Amino acid sequence: MKVLSRLIIKGGVLSPGELKSICQMTEDIGLKAISFGSRQDIIFPEEVSAEQLKLFKDFEVVSPNDAKKQNIISSYVSGDILPSTAWLTGDKYLYILEQFRETPILKVNITDPKQNLVPLFTGHLNFIASEHEDYWYLYVRLPHWKDTVAYPVLIYSWDMAKVTRAIENLLVEEPETIETIFELVNDAEDTNNITIDKPLEIPFEPFPYYEGMHRTGNDKYWLGLYWRNNHYSLDFLKAMCDLCLTCEIGKISITPWKSFIVNDIPKASKLQWEKLLGKYGINVRHSMLELNWHLPVADEDALKLKKYLVTNFDQNDISTYGLTFGVTNYIKPTYYFTSIVIEKNQTPSDLSEYKIRDTYNLLYAKNFDPNEQEYIVHVQDVDMVELPSLLMELSRLYFEQLGNEKEEKPLPETAPEMMEHEVYQCSDCLTIYDPQYGDPTQDIAPKTSFEDLPDNFDCTLCEAPKTDFQKKIITKV
């Protein structure tokens, strides 16, 4: 997986003029696209030299060797399109973000608990709106902490930046408890806190559909756009920014799902937007099978795995409405914001010289709600070919318990019956052909035996001939 340079986009909010300027400079250094990150930042999908990065002097640039600078994410993007706390307007977000004059060291989340597009707890400092106007819950998980802990008071809107700075100043001391942090911050800063009178309540709703053109009120629309490869064409983005300026649209919002949203499109301009999408061949009809995935940026293996699983879902008419999926690996600790996590295992060190198949673990969030911050292991060390049926099993479990979110309904603890199963493995790249699933990429129907495959059948991954496949027996549920 590449380590790439990125631009900090505070809160995920920028103007059409700023985005067009970024696109023009990106084009000047020879790139044709940009990508979006899971913290609402902009990522250069190819390596960029230090000299080229100097061109972006008006923006906050983070180079691959400068990992200390963190982005602030916000749920500004969900305002006016999803349920929201009454006092938390778009202007309020912008005023609060303006307080943060310096790029924070810690990851900061500023979110509305009534929306479910932007994660609440994936930051080190998670400010979550309360019912009291201009007051926020704060949940803290410092880099050396395992758990997320509630700060003992509500934070005033105009104290958020200085509380953040005060906590960052404490990092060198590595405080171990929230009580210590509270005392030291109070000693260092004069803040306008109030007592917490009720615990934070987070309503559960299935994950929203965030792509396409949607009406808001009688004369406005919002548009969500997504590219499956996360490479956003500079030519299209520049034309879109020009149309935003023509329509007097002042803000564009990046989502944490590697997409972006344009709000306040006038009804009278809807046809112009449809023409723009058609001119550049932009598809806004991806299904939820395709949309709701968190993948590491520039990770080709993760993208191939997603395509394989989505193809299987589609072939079997599986619904994933309201579910989200994440693909991750063993490289570093990850704090998820997905219903289901597909975790790639590390190759055992004593076998590193041998070419062996990858294995995966499947985890699912308690009640399939990512905000629960608790993940349950479903299976461990399974082959890729086993993932589709196991994910379908989890999908059925999700719909069975939907509507009973407050009840913990873990999977049965009894061990499933194991059976031997015959598959065929490519001797060159170790890809498996499983007769149970066929090969949708070559129009091979499920339940097609290996003997019935055409003579010109070849490996989907490395194109080795049919004769290079060897029979294997695997154990599966």
- Give me the number of domains the chain comprises: 4
Is residue 377 domain-shared with residue 467, that is, in the same domain? no
Is residue 423 domain-shared with residue 399, that is, in the same domain? no
Given 164, 195, 226, the domain boundary residue is: 195
Query: Of 449, 470, 467, nearest to 458 (Cα)?
Result: 467
For residue 170, give the CATH number of its domain: 3.30.413
Q: What is the pTM of this model?
A: 0.80
For residue 277, give the CATH number of its domain: 3.90.480.10
458: left (phi over 0), alpha (psi -120 to 50) or beta: beta
For the segment 295-338, what is each residue's pLDDT rounded down to a tens digit? 887 788 888 999 999 999 888 888 888 899 999 876 555 667 89
455 lies in some domain: yes
Helix/strand number for the chain, H first, E second? 10, 25
Mean pLDDT of 158-171: 95
Is residue 400 domain-shared with residue 419, that is, in the same domain? no
Is residue 409 domain-shared with residue 422, that is, in the same domain? no
Pairing of strands 325-328, 340-344: parallel
pLDDT at position 409 over 50: no
For the segment 226-283, what is each residue's pLDDT rounded down to a tens digit? 998 899 999 999 999 999 999 999 999 999 999 999 999 999 999 999 999 999 999 8
Q: In 10 A of CB 288, how many CB atoms?
A: 20
| Alpha-carbon span 387 to 62, nearest angstrom | 36
Is residue 246 domain-shared with residue 153, that is, in the same domain? no
State the average pLDDT for the chain. 87
Q: Report pLDDT for 195.
A: 92
Is residue 17 domain-shared with residue 145, that is, in the same domain? yes
Q: Residue 165: which domain range?
A: 6-195
Is residue 324 domain-shared with residue 395, that is, in the same domain? yes
Given 269, 287, 305, the domain boundary residue is: 287
Instruction: List C-alpha distances in Å: 436 to 278, 391, 430.
Output: 39, 16, 18
Query: Of 93, 164, 80, 152, nearest to 126 (Cα)?
Result: 164
370 lies in some domain: yes
